[in-house]
Amino acid sequence: MNPVRWTVRPEDPRGTDRAAVRRIVEAAFPTTAEADLVDALREDPGAWLPGLSWVVSDTQDPDAGPVGHALVTRCRVGGEPVAALAPCSVLPDLQGRGAGTAVIEAVLAAARDAGERLVLVLGHAGYYPRFGFRPASGLGIRAPFEVPDEAMMALVLDGPVPSGLIAYPPAFGV
């Protein structure tokens, strides 16, 4: 894979990337639920973390604009503020070529730089361990709903980290 194939950057805080992000998320998932989730999180100042919504574009086709997106927002574990990675989206035609890896690595690095200590993700156990995620249960962290143990994962950026029950912002509807 060409290491300079992908260009990553934070979403423009002036809002100029919003429509592109919505298109990407709508295209990546079967329903608009995840795109609606992103929009609802944007409207929640208790959840949205400025600088932790990142986009990726094709370095060789910059005029095409963003083709992928990864979002980190605020949630809580045991009442303490931590972060959650969700959703991650790449346009279907461009999936499997490293864009997702590039934008996820970028948003996680930005979360670390912003002082976040712990990032949670609910996702495929075959994908997220490559970023360092491990089952959250090993840290004594529990989801507020039934979920396979290996699907709820946590990445420690800077320990020690809290344990206990996860509380998501209202936008997640859980």
Ligand X SMILES: CC(C)(COP(=O)(O)OP(=O)(O)OC[C@H]1O[C@@H](n2cnc3c(N)ncnc32)[C@H](O)[C@@H]1OP(=O)(O)O)[C@@H](O)C(=O)NCCC(=O)NCCS
Rule CB under 6 A: which residues touch ligand X? 28-29, 86-90, 95-101, 123-124, 126-127
Indicate the DSSP class of residue 34: H
Structure tokens belonging to residue 51: 């600088």
CB of 97 to ligand X, least distance (A): 5
Cβ closer to ligand X: 82 or 104?
104
CB of 95 to ligand X, least distance (A): 3
- CA 21 to chain centroid, in Å, comes to 13
Residue nearest to ligand X (CB): 100
Question: Looking at this protein, which amino acid is placed at residue 5?
Answer: R
Indicate the DSSP class of residue 12: P
Judge contact between 140 and 152, C-beta under 8 A.
Answer: no
Residue 127 to residue 143: CA distance in whole angstroms: 19
Cβ closer to ligand X: 3 or 126?
126
Cβ closer to ligand X: 78 or 123?
123
CB of 159 to ligand X, least distance (A): 25
